[in-house]
Structure 1
Amino acid sequence: MQRSYQDIFPQADFSHLAQTVEQYFSSKTPLWWVEEAEGAEEAEEAEGEKKILSPSSPSSPVACLWVGNAIDQVTGTRHAHIFLLYVLPEYRRRGIGTALMKYVENWANQRGDRQLGLQVFQSNQPALNLYHQLGYQTQSLWMVKSLSTEK
Structure 2
Amino acid sequence: MASEQSFALPGYSLRIGSTLDRTTVVKFMERTYRELDPQQPTDHIAATVDRFLGRDTPLWWVDADSAASPVGALWLGQATDQRSGILHPYVLMLYVAPAHRRCGIATALLAVAETWAQQQGHRQISLQVFSDNQAAQALYNRLGYQSEAVLMKKKLSEETVEEI
TM category, shorter: 0.7 to 0.9
Structure 1 distance, partners of 2:141, 2:119, is 23
Task: Identify which of 47, 69, 89 aligns with 1:19.
Answer: 47
Where in structure 2 are the equivalents of 1:111-122 lying within 5 Å? Answer: 111-122=120-131
1:95 to 93, 104, 118: 104
Q: Deviations over 1:108-135 (max 9, x none)?
A: 0111111100000010000000000001
> What's the CA shift string for 1:42-83, capped at 9, x where partnerless?
xxxxxxxxxxxxxxxx95000000001111121111111100
| 2:32 paired with 1:32 | no
Identity in percent:
47
Separation in structure 2 between the aligned mates of residue 74 and residue 11 of structure 1, nearest angstrom: 35
Shift in Å, 1:150: 3.0
> Is 1:125 the equivalent of 2:125?
no
Q: SS where residue 92 of structure 2 aligns? A: strand
Gaps of 5+ in 1: 42-57
Structure with the larger RCO, 1 or 2 (CA within 8 Å, 6+ apart): 2
**TM-score, normalising length: structure 1:** 0.83
Moved over 6 A (4+): none
Q: How does 1:1-151 map to 2 (within 5 A)?
A: 1-37=29-65, 41=66, 60-150=69-159
**Structure 2 CA distance for aligned equivalents of residues 5 and 98 of structure 1:** 20
User: What is the alpha-carbon distance in structure 2 between the residues aligned to residue 19 and residue 129 of structure 1?
Assistant: 30
Please report the RMSD computed on the Cα atoms of aligned residues, expressed in angstroms: 1.4
Provide the rounded CA distance (Å) in 2 between the counterparts of 1:105 and 1:142: 24
Match of 2:15 in 1: none
Partner SS, residue 110 of structure 2: helix
Using the size of structure 2 for normalisation, the TM-score is: 0.77
- 1:74 counterpart SS class: coil
Q: Which amino acid aligns with 1:32?
A: W
SS of 2:63's equivalent in the other structure is strand
The amino acid across from 1:61 in the alignment is: P
- Rounded Cα–Cα distance in structure 2 between residues aligned with 1:16 and 1:73: 25
CA distance in 2, matches of 1:150, 1:76: 36
